[in-house]
Amino acid sequence: MSRSIRIAASTSGAIFFVSAFVLYVARSVDVALSWLLMFVSVGVGLLVGVLSTAGQAELGQPST
């Protein structure tokens, strides 16, 4: 369980830094916002997937 939380935290942290870098590099606000929205949506999807997997493992379902 703690490993899944660490993976989720590092993934969301990496996505945050990448999106901040994209915002810094991009000169156009529209491009920066579209990239930021894409990274945030991907990050939320990964986070929900990892947390739901960890929740299923906690409920007693076999984890691989």
Q: What is the pLDDT of residues 1-40, one digit of tens each?
A: 577 778 777 888 888 888 777 777 776 677 777 878 888 8
The pLDDT of 42-46, averaged and rounded, is 85
State how many domains the chain has: 1
- pLDDT band with cut points at 50, 70 and 90 for residue 47: confident
The CB density around residue 25, as the number of other CB atoms within 10 Å, is: 10
Cα–Cα–Cα angle for 47, 52, 57, nearest 5°?
130
Domain that holds residue 46: 2-58
34: in domain: yes
Give the model's pLDDT for residue 62: 56
63: in domain: no
Structure tokens at 60: 């007693």
Distance CA 62, CA 41 (A): 29
Please name the amino acid found at residue 7: I
Give the model's pLDDT for residue 2: 76
Give the model's pLDDT for residue 28: 67
Distance CA 9, CA 26 (A): 26
53: in domain: yes
Task: Decide if 39 contacts 19 (C-beta within 8 A).
Answer: yes
7: in domain: yes
30: in domain: yes
